[in-house]
Amino acid sequence: MHSEDLAVLAELYDIITPSKREMFDRIAADRTNYITVALENVFQEHNASAVLRSCDCFGIQNLHVIEKDNQYKVQRDIALGAGRWVDMYNYDRGPEPEIDCIKNLKEKGFRIIATTPHTNDVTINDLNLDSPMAFVFGTERRGISPEIMELADEFVKIPMYGFTESFNISVSAAITLNVIRERLENSSIDWKLNAEEQTKLKLKWCRKILRGGQELEDEIRRRLFKKE
């Protein structure tokens, strides 16, 4: 299947510009699913959009948004198009969307890392990186809900040295992702997308920028592989 995807990608690459091809290849090679982020009921749109932008800047491909009380809206002037490249998963149905989100992440093999001061917390500099991590950031007012605290596997904090008790949520996310990514870069952990995952991601990006991208890809597959 990967060989088929490569053949289709080559056809799509003949259509898009050389600069886009270079950009897709370079950025996909630095993307990761080893780290993901979950936002719980973030009600300030500029903060949620800033976190989305940080995910893109630090190569985080997936963002999970829990909308139990507050609907997520992207502010384009803050996100700067990041929503086009980062995959967002919304949890807004049923009585307990926050639990649905956490269970889904755990089923995918993520450790749930609650970003909050806690008696058993560690700093982002000391967190064990040996398995995939989902960092959960709570609301600006109340922090992470008791339901997610109960389901969390670990607790992490950012060292602070001033009078203020906490960072703004978007700042917390940016600092956390920066430190964790830098630590992974300096580790021997295999944490970036593999070749097959990169190909699928580049196909997705091609579909996004080409008019009728899905139909065009389907037509190429039928032509190359004679699929009905």
For the stretch 34-65, pLDDT in tens is 999 999 877 566 777 889 999 999 999 999 98
Q: Which domain holds residue 207?
A: 3-25+196-225
Residue 60 falls within a domain, yes or no? Answer: yes
- pLDDT for the residue numbered 161: 87
Q: Same domain, yes or no, for 96 and 39?
A: yes
Whole-angstrom distance, CA of residue 40 vs CA of residue 102: 11
Mean pLDDT of the chain: 89
Lowest-confidence segment of 55-59, 81-85, 149-153, 191-195 by average pLDDT: 81-85
Q: Does 190 reside within a domain?
A: no
Report the pLDDT averaged over residues 124-153. 90
CA distances from 58 to 61, 80, 150 (A): 9, 14, 28
- pLDDT value of residue 123: 94
Check whether residue 92 and residue 7 sit in a common domain: no
pTM (2 d.p.): 0.90
Q: Is residue 41 part of a domain?
A: yes
Residue 191 lies inside a defined structural domain of this protein: no
Residue 102 lies in a domain: yes
Residue 98 counted as domain residue: yes
Tally the domains of the chain. Answer: 2
Are residues 174 and 97 both part of a single domain?
Answer: yes
Contacts of 64 (CB under 8 A, 6+ apart): 36, 37, 38, 39, 88, 89, 91, 101, 104, 105, 134
What residue has token string 């949890």?
Answer: 91
49/17 same-domain check: no
Phi-psi sector, 143: left (phi>0), alpha (psi -120 to 50), beta: left
**Percentage of the chain lying above the pLDDT 90 cut:** 65
State whether 9 and 48 are in the same domain.
no
